[in-house]
Amino acid sequence: MEQKVRNSIKAIIIQDDKILTIKCTDQLGEFYLLPGGGQDKGELMPDTLKRECLEEIGCDVDPGRLLYIREYLADNHEFAEFDKGVHQIEFMFECSLVEGSIPKNGPEMDPYQIGIEWLSLDDLMNHRLYPQTLRAIIIDRMYEGPIYLGDIN
């Protein structure tokens, strides 16, 4: 059976020189992802973002502008044996927390998620944040550069 391309909508939430991430674990230890997830058929991207953030970080977000688009062809990257055949397109939006929202473990965390964590931008290169290429882009706040990042990890 042919696998389909999956859209994933992600939130880039930066506050006080820290980025909000979901903390996960795998066979190599801890790693971090941007909050967000799979878009359902008939669901608009901002609605996906709001739903996924409620599920994973337990709070409401205000989606802003689209910052980046990343493709992930798993067969080209380090986890090819685990994600064989996966083709995912991630749309990363600048977001802010709705006033009064306090991030916490959401009611429907991903299976590998063990919590949430604010990571300091000053220390971001020392963490396994995926996509890893995005770390330097976020640190430099390169929001005016190219939107399409290609097949990166």
pLDDT tens, residue order, the chain (153 aa): 466 899 999 999 999 999 999 999 998 899 999 999 999 999 999 999 999 999 999 999 999 999 999 998 887 777 667 677 788 999 999 999 999 999 999 988 888 899 999 999 999 999 999 999 889 888 887 666 778 888 888
CB 136 within 8 A of CB 152: no
User: What pLDDT shows up at residue 79?
Assistant: 67
User: What pLDDT shows up at residue 110?
Assistant: 84
DSSP string computed for 36-74? EEEPPTT--HHHHHHHHHHHHHSS-EEEEEEEEEEEEEG
- Cα–Cα distance, 147 to 128 (Å, whole number): 22
Give Cα 48 distance to the centre of its chain.
13
pTM: 0.90
User: What pLDDT shows up at residue 21?
Assistant: 97
- The residue extents of the domains of the chain are 6-151
The CATH classification of domain 6-151, taken from the options 3.90.79.10, 1.10.10.10, 1.20.120.530, 3.40.50.300: 3.90.79.10
User: What pLDDT shows up at residue 142?
Assistant: 62
- Cα–Cα distance, 21 to 110 (Å, whole number): 13
- Cα–Cα distance, 112 to 120 (Å, whole number): 22
DSSP string computed for the chain? -PPPPEEEEEEEEEETTEEEEEEEEETTEEEEE-SEEEPPTT--HHHHHHHHHHHHHSS-EEEEEEEEEEEEEGGGSTTTTTSTT-EEEEEEEEEEEPTT------TT--TTEEEEEEEEGGGGGGS-EESTHHHHHHHTT-TTS-SEEEE--
Q: List Cβ neighbours of 16 (8 Å cut-off, separation of 6 or more).
A: none
Token output for 108: 């429907």
